[in-house]
A and B are shown apart, each in its own frame.
Chain A
Amino acid sequence: MATISTLRKELDSKSISSVELTKEYLKKINEHPELGAFNTVCEEEALSLAKLADKKIANGESSPLLGIPLAIKDNICTKGITTTCSSKMLENYIPPYNATVMDKLNAQGAVVLGKTSMDEFAMGGSSQTSALAKPKNPFNLECVPGGSSGGSAAAVSGGLCAAALGSDTGGSIRQPAAFCGIVGMKPTYGTVSRFGLVAFGSSLDQIGPMANSAEDCGIILNAIAGQDIHDRTTRSHNINFNELIGKPISGMKIGIPKEFFGDGIDDEVKTAVINAAKFYEENGAELIEVSMPTLKYAVSAYYLLACAEASSNLSRYDGVKYGLRTESPESYDDLIKKSRSEGFGTEVKRRILLGTYALSSGYYDAYYKKALAVRQQCRLEHDEIFKKCDVMLTPTTPTVAYKCRDNIDDPVKMYLADICTVTANIAGIPAISVPCGIDKDGMPIGFSLSAKRFDDAKLPQFADFFEKEHMHPVANI
């Protein structure tokens, strides 16, 4: 699969034009409707952006993403282009403004191919809760691509775009990246602006790249990261995400938290991930055992925090200002009740109810406040761990991608599958998922690396080191 860095060389040497490249991807998107990767394809806009990029390239301009065709998760606001969150509620919603990351991509001259499908409002790990396009796994169309950024994962893995943006609240970039055999990175909370990212769990959400290489992830992050006056949770930082690539890893320490390798992790996954760790060890890194006792509370705490925030964030969809409005309501109460009943799917409703309950008077202390305490403890444990090691290595997912029909009726089982990814969000640390082989059925396996807050550059460094010796699996598409 062509990486951004190879395409950059081809574009700058004019062996291919951005228009030709864009047409190629658009053709492939049209040829693979079965992947269900896109809610909206912006053919005209993409071609005009590509033309503009070609003009700039002809003028000798160059920037890392100039003329590179990308796909954008459909919960990132694009001015004038529908942003649906794969929900009936926002099926026709056209934002009057651009997310900060879109302004930054535009400034670099990137080409936006379209908006990718996802779990409704980013709630899910299969992308099958989408009310619009339901994306499939390019390695096996009967399997889920993961979620919630499943459309972006399927698009990158299926070769429908050079790279994509996803969003990650509890693993929504890393888990689909692992399921689809690509690289996905959630940077430190506060490195990338959330302005224009339709909020799910505000204290956990972070936008990040999904791409064919760790270096590509760094290229995109270098373009979209930075403090934003519109998002006061962003921090001032000067991270060059790719500056450590190529630097030796020998002598560096990798923490292996034993709790992530217990029961419930599939044997084939465990083996592949341990082999990845061994690879680093063989190349001079030191493996050390670390411990994260709060892991057993992490999923519960995560769902309480994320759902509590979501219950508030999603209250604005009341049928009054924009979005779905029920026909002939009898009163204001009737208007909100019916609009929300018709507009939201089952999983979204379930999480709104869960979050509303957790915040209700009389339950707040028992649920929300306890979850905050777990979060605090989890952060302290991470601080301790990263005093001992540079990065931590874990599986990204307990299993490989499952069949579309599986798990869907068992929300608790689905939630528990997030066990390996949620702690990074709770602690606000950066984490990257890298492919490390396939299982007996040919489904990709991924391992994750995480680091302390704002130590993001170590992740492309370690991931790139692994990639140099291990080809990513390629979908037969």
Chain B
Amino acid sequence: MCKKYDTVIGLEIHAELSTKTKAFCTCDASFGGDPNTHICPVCTGQPGALPVINHAAVEYAMRAGLALNCDINRYTRFDRKNYFYPDLPKAYQISQLDLPLCVNGKVELSTGTVVRIHQIHLEEDAGKMVHDDYHGQSYADYNRCSVPLIEIVTEPDINSPEEAAEFVSKIALYLKYLNVCDAKMQEGSIRADVNISLKPAGSDILGDRAEIKNLNSFRSIQRAIESEIARQTEILDQGGKVVQETRRFDDATGTTSSLRSKENANDYRYFPEPDILAITFTEEDIEKAKSEIPLLPHERVEIYTKEYGLTDEDARVLTSEKYLSDFFDETVAIYPMYKNVSNMFQTEIMRRVKETDSEEIAISAKNFAKVCEMADKNTVNRNDAKTIIRIMFEEGGEPEEIAKTNGFIVVEDTEAIANVVDALFAERPDLIEDYKNGKTNVFGFFMGQANRALKGKATPMSVKAYLEKKFNEI
């Protein structure tokens, strides 16, 4: 079936930066804390208090911009965005309007679509309202107030709900790789506003758009867009006109509803923030920010496939999270058997960490490298190696110690092999006779018995070699 409309989507992604302190004061910017414990005269908007910009926030935003292929404005300025809301103590948000930090970026999606980034600007977060319906009271918690945010604004280059979800998850992943945002959607550290319009297939003229505010999961971004496309399609099919307005998405019903129309839109009365001086960046500032950008996922995939000889699939799995990729890199730096480490890592490490929410791997890369090496060199057999990893996860400890205590160390004791096999031959002359009569399957019996008796002292390979020698001599 031919598509009747093209979907045009633009995104505004708000990402909280993971700086230690807030954007304009020295309060703790970490998530949580009892209400109103991370506050001071500045972030609660006391009369006379003044903002002082946190340089780390500027550097983080710059790093994000550079990684997303943006140009850095050499001259950047802050503006006040004025509106009343009880979670906004100054009644204005310090933001950036026409001279943002970063402009003109781009990100390529797996579909081949290139999404242009219009700008990335730095601003501050608001606090949080807590409503007590029972007593009809509302409370304001200012802990999040003035935590630094970047807002990433795209051009309307996204064509489907899937592309939108991919774009947001890609941005989230990049920000994590850059160490500038922990990208925990459940803690609200990444939120998105979506602008959607439909136009007749192939047309160049954009339709009227609706904006859906404050989506806070990859899934709700996709669902909200799907539902909005359906709604706008129905309106257009019936010859109607889409109203330009702000809408909200209800996760429970999976539908959007009107929040406010364009006529009731706020006039934010932006003007240059007089309390913060404009910043002029030097080439050195920008070079320094560039030097602080770690290898990004696509660069690591390139290395894993081209230099390490891993498959594309393996490379993608390993780079799906920064902490996984970092751990893998640390391991292969010690023990560069890429393919073997990758296999062991995916089956034994990733499986375990995926079961928890934590992004911490309970064992060290050094110990993991050691176990991989022990397995590859037959110091322990592969199954025992896996057991060692399990024990390290559950109880800790050093791999060699664990192997010794549990008798996993393989010792190639040729004398012991001879003793055991010779004894078995002496015990079962009947089976030797059977073998002579052509019943060669008795070999398996001897192999099993010998291995059991020689556990930890010889590898099955050496046992097999000795047995073969013995039978040949018969």
Q: Which residues of A contact B (CB under 8 A)?
A: 75-77, 83, 85, 90, 93, 95-97, 99, 194-199, 202-203, 229-233, 308-309, 311-312, 315-316, 318, 320-322, 332, 336, 356, 359-361, 364, 368
B274–A359 touching, CB < 8 Å: no
B274–A203 touching, CB < 8 Å: yes
Return chain B residues, CB-CB under 8 Å to A99.
48
B82–A320 touching, CB < 8 Å: no
A195–B271 touching, CB < 8 Å: no
Report the Cα distance A447→B45, complex, angstroms: 38
Sample of 5 further A-B pairs with CB below 8 A, known A230-B52, A312-B91, A316-B45: A97-B41, A312-B82, A315-B91, A316-B90, A321-B89
Residue B44 CB within 8 A of the other chain: yes
Residue pairs across A and B with Cβ atoms less than 8 A apart, 16 shown, are A75-B48, A90-B47, A96-B41, A97-B46, A196-B49, A203-B274, A231-B50, A312-B91, A318-B91, A320-B89, A320-B140, A321-B44, A322-B46, A332-B86, A332-B138, A368-B271
As a 0/1 sequence over residues 262 to 288 of chain B, the CB contacts with chain A under 8 angstroms (1 = contact) are 000001011100111100000000000
B50–A195 touching, CB < 8 Å: yes
Report the Cα distance A361→B45, complex, angstroms: 25
Nearest 10 pairs of A and B residues by beta carbon? A315-B91, A359-B269, A202-B274, A203-B274, A198-B47, A196-B48, A77-B48, A316-B45, A198-B48, A97-B41
A233–B277 touching, CB < 8 Å: yes
Report the Cα distance A364→B269, complex, angstroms: 8
Given contacts A232-B53, A232-B275, A309-B274, A316 and B47 within 8 Å (CB-CB): yes
Return chain B residues, CB-CB under 8 Å to A316.
45, 47, 89-91
Which residues 32-57 in B have Cβ within 8 Å of A in the complex? 41, 44-50, 52-53
Return chain B residues, CB-CB under 8 Å to A95.
41, 46-48
Report the Cα distance A230→B276, complex, angstroms: 11
B271–A359 touching, CB < 8 Å: yes
A233–B275 touching, CB < 8 Å: yes
Given contacts A308-B271, A316-B91, A77 and B84 within 8 Å (CB-CB): no
**Number of residues from B at the complex interface, CB < 8 A:** 28
Return chain B residues, CB-CB under 8 Å to A364.
269, 271
Report the Cα distance A194→B52, complex, angstroms: 12
Select from chain B the residue with minimum beta-carbon distance to A357. Answer: B269
Return chain B residues, CB-CB under 8 Å to A320.
86, 89, 140
Which residue of A230, A321, A332 is within 8 Å of B45 (Cβ)? A321
Residue B80 CB within 8 A of the other chain: yes
Residue B174 CB within 8 A of the other chain: no
Select from chain B the residue with minimum beta-carbon distance to A336. Answer: B84
Which residue of B46, B49, B271 is within 8 Å of A312 (Cβ)? B271
B269–A356 touching, CB < 8 Å: yes
Given contacts A312-B82, A315-B82, A361-B267, A83 and B47 within 8 Å (CB-CB): yes
Report the Cα distance A75→B48, complex, angstroms: 8
B48–A197 touching, CB < 8 Å: yes
Return chain A residues, CB-CB under 8 Å to B52.
229-232
Return chain B residues, CB-CB under 8 Å to A196.
48-49
Residue B92 CB within 8 A of the other chain: yes
A312–B92 touching, CB < 8 Å: yes
Return chain B residues, CB-CB under 8 Å to A359.
82, 269-271
Return chain A residues, CB-CB under 8 Å to B270.
359
Select from chain B the residue with minimum beta-carbon distance to A322. Answer: B46
As a 0/1 sequence over residues 283 to 312 of chain B, the CB contacts with chain A under 8 angstroms (1 = contact) are 000000000000000000000000000000
Select from chain A the residue with minimum beta-carbon distance to B138. Answer: A332
B49–A97 touching, CB < 8 Å: yes
Return chain A residues, CB-CB under 8 Å to B47.
77, 83, 85, 90, 93, 95, 198-199, 316
Return chain B residues, CB-CB under 8 Å to A77.
46-48
Select from chain B the residue with minimum beta-carbon distance to A359. Answer: B269
Report the Cα distance A194→B140, complex, angstroms: 28
Report the Cα distance A111→B60, complex, angstroms: 46
Select from chain B the residue with minimum beta-carbon distance to A369. Answer: B271
Select from chain A the residue with minimum beta-carbon distance to B276. Answer: A232
Report the Cα distance A197→B92, complex, angstroms: 18
A202–B275 touching, CB < 8 Å: yes
A199–B48 touching, CB < 8 Å: yes
Select from chain A the residue with minimum beta-carbon distance to B85. Answer: A332
Return chain B residues, CB-CB under 8 Å to A322.
46
A194–B50 touching, CB < 8 Å: yes
Report the Cα distance A200→B138, complex, angstroms: 30
Return chain B residues, CB-CB under 8 Å to A332.
86, 138
Report the Cα distance A296→B151, complex, angstroms: 42
Return chain A residues, CB-CB under 8 Å to B276.
232
Task: Tell me the smallest distance from the CB of B357 to a CB of chain A, in Å.
Answer: 36
Report the Cα distance A230→B42, complex, angstroms: 10
A360–B82 touching, CB < 8 Å: no
A315–B44 touching, CB < 8 Å: no
A195–B48 touching, CB < 8 Å: yes
Select from chain A the residue with minimum beta-carbon distance to B25. Answer: A230
Report the Cα distance A318→B270, complex, angstroms: 19
Select from chain B the residue with minimum beta-carbon distance to A195. Answer: B50
Which residues 335-384 in B have Cβ within 8 Å of A in the complex? none
Task: Tell me the smallest distance from the CB of B83 to a CB of chain A, in Å.
Answer: 9
Report the Cα distance A194→B275, complex, angstroms: 10
Most buried by A among B41, B49, B138, B277: B49
Return chain B residues, CB-CB under 8 Å to A360.
267, 269
Report the Cα distance A354→B228, complex, angstroms: 41
Which residues 428-466 in B have Cβ within 8 Å of A in the complex? none
Task: Tell me the smallest distance from the CB of B81 to a CB of chain A, in Å.
Answer: 10
Return chain A residues, CB-CB under 8 Å to B44.
321
Return chain A residues, CB-CB under 8 Å to B80.
312
As a 0/1 sequence over residues 367 to 409 of chain B, the CB contacts with chain A under 8 angstroms (1 = contact) are 0000000000000000000000000000000000000000000
B277–A318 touching, CB < 8 Å: no
B48–A96 touching, CB < 8 Å: no
Report the Cα distance A448→B435, complex, angstroms: 123
Select from chain B the residue with minimum beta-carbon distance to A323. Answer: B47
Task: Tell me the smallest distance from the CB of B47 to a CB of chain A, in Å.
Answer: 4
Task: Tell me the smallest distance from the CB of B405 to a CB of chain A, in Å.
Answer: 58
Return chain A residues, CB-CB under 8 Å to B49.
97, 195-196
Report the Cα distance A311→B89, complex, angstroms: 15
Report the Cα distance A96→B274, complex, angstroms: 24
Which residues 137-182 in B have Cβ within 8 Å of A in the complex? 138, 140
Return chain B residues, CB-CB under 8 Å to A356.
269
Report the Cα distance A359→B271, complex, angstroms: 7
A312–B89 touching, CB < 8 Å: no
Return chain B residues, CB-CB under 8 Å to A76.
48
Given contacts A96-B41, A309-B274, A315 and B50 within 8 Å (CB-CB): no
Task: Tell me the smallest distance from the CB of B87 to a CB of chain A, in Å.
Answer: 9
Select from chain B the residue with minimum beta-carbon distance to A314. Answer: B91
Report the Cα distance A76→B48, complex, angstroms: 8
Report the Cα distance A368→B47, complex, angstroms: 24
Report the Cα distance A231→B41, complex, angstroms: 13
Return chain B residues, CB-CB under 8 Å to A195.
48-50
Return chain A residues, CB-CB under 8 Å to B89.
316, 320-321
Task: Tell me the smallest distance from the CB of B277 to a CB of chain A, in Å.
Answer: 6
Which residue of A202, A232, A309, A318 is within 8 Å of B86 (Cβ)? A318
B46–A96 touching, CB < 8 Å: yes
Most buried by A among B44, B53, B269, B276: B269
Select from chain B the residue with minimum beta-carbon distance to A340. Answer: B84
Task: Tell me the smallest distance from the CB of A74 to a CB of chain B, in Å.
Answer: 11
